[in-house]
Amino acid sequence: MLPHVVVPSVLAQFLIPEWRLSGAEAGLLAGSYAAGYMLAVPVLATLTDRIDARTILIAGSLLSAAATMMFGVFAQGLWSGAAIWGLAGIGFAGAYMPGLKALTDRLVPGDSSRAVTFYTSAFSFGVGLSFLVSQLVAERWGWRSAFVITAAGPLAMVMVCLFLRPVAPKPASGRLLDFAPVISNRPAMGYVLGYGAHCFELYGIRTWLVAFWTFVAVQNAGSAILSPIAVSVAFSIIAMPASIFGNEMALRFGRHRAIMVIMIASAIVALAIGLSADKSPWILLPLIALYALTVPADSGALTSGMTMAANPDYRGATMAMHSTVGFGLSALGSWGVGMALDVAGGPTSASAWTAAFALLAAGIMLGPLALYWSRPQPKQSS
C-alpha cells in the first residue's frame, strides 16, 4: 500500500503548480490509478478462480513497484504521468483483490467476515502510512524521491508471498470472463453497487483532502491547528477501526440496515463540511474527524457481505466485478470533485469546496438505493 496515495499527497503542493494543472486535470491524473486498476482487475481477479492467487499477487506487486519508481524518474506532465500512474494501478489490480482471494483461500471453513474486514481495514492503515511517508519525503528531498522510496513497499509484499503455502485452485469451469452468474446474483450485486458508491466518496475525499486542508490553512493563517500532513494521515488511520466497527455493527444489527445508516450519516457530514468550508478550523476539524469515521465504516461490511453472498464457484469473478465497479467509480470520484472545483470557482474558493462536498454526498446516497434494490424479495404464496 505504500505507493497508493503518492499522487494525491504531492498534488496540491508540487504537481498542480509545476505542471500547471486545472482541477479536472489533477483529478484525471490521480484517477488514472483507479482507471488502470478497473481495466485490469476483471481478468486478474477472475484468474484467481483458476490459478493460485499468490502467483498473481507476486506479479502485481512487482509491477506496482516498477511503475511507481518509473513515475518518479520519467513523469514530465499530465499525460506521461497519467500513463505511468495507470500502469501502477494495473499492478495494484494484481495485488488487492488477488491478495484477498489468497487470504480467503487459506482460511478454515466458516464465517470469514471478520478476517475480510481486518484485511480491508488494513488497507486504510496502509493509506495513512502512504500519506505520511510521501509527504515527509517530498518536503525533504522533492516529490520525485517520494515515488522512488515508496516503490519499496510492494517489494515487501513479494517477500511475504514467498512464505504463503501453495493452494491448488478448483478445476476451472466455464469461460474466463463469464460474469453472467455474478450479475444474476442480486444480493451480491447490491453489495458491489454499494461498494461503488463508497469508492466514489472515498477516493473523491482521499484525492482532494490535502488540497482542502491546504485551503483551510491558507484561509486561517496561523490557526489551522494541524498541518495537511497530519490531517491526511489521521483521516486514514481512523479508517481502520471505523471499518472494523462498521462490520461489527453489521453483524449485530443486520448488514443492510447498518450500511444504509452509515451511508446516510456520511452524506450529512459531507454536506456539513461543504457548508462550513469558509469557517474556522476549530469547526472543520471535528467534522473532518467525524467524516473519517463515516466514510470507511461501510467498507468492511460491504466487502465481507459480497464474499459471503458470492457463489463459491464464482468468488474470484464476483471479487473482480466488485473491484471493477468500485475502482471505476473511484476514478470518477477523483475527476468529478476536480470538475466541481473548476466549475464553482477553483480550489481557492469556499463555494467550490461546498460544491465538491455536495457531489460526494450525492455519490454516497446511491449506495442505499442499491442495497434497497437488492434486498431479499418476499416469496409469493401460491
Decide if 268 is inside a domain.
yes
Q: What are phi and psi of 295, to 5 degrees?
A: -60, -50
Question: Which structural domain range is residue 312 located in?
Answer: 6-164+181-373
What are 240-271's pLDDT values in tens digits?
888 888 888 988 999 999 999 999 999 999 99
Region 161-190: what's the mean pLDDT? 81
From CA 50, how far away is CA 365, in angstroms rounded?
Answer: 36
Number of domains into which the chain is organized: 1
Decide if 204 is inside a domain.
yes
What are 283-336's pLDDT values in tens digits?
999 999 999 999 999 988 898 899 889 988 888 788 889 988 998 999 999 999
From CA 8, how far away is CA 103, in angstroms rounded?
Answer: 29
pLDDT score, position 3: 96
Relative orientation angle of helices 255-275 and 350-364, to the nearest 10 degrees: 170
Decide if 174 is inside a domain.
no
- What CATH code is carried by the domain that includes residue 334? 1.20.1250.20
Decide if 176 is inside a domain.
no
Decide if 257 is inside a domain.
yes
Decide if 175 is inside a domain.
no
Decide if 28 is inside a domain.
yes
What are 120-133's pLDDT values in tens digits?
778 888 999 999 99
Record the cell numbers describing residue 79, joined without a space. 499525460
Decide if 319 is inside a domain.
yes
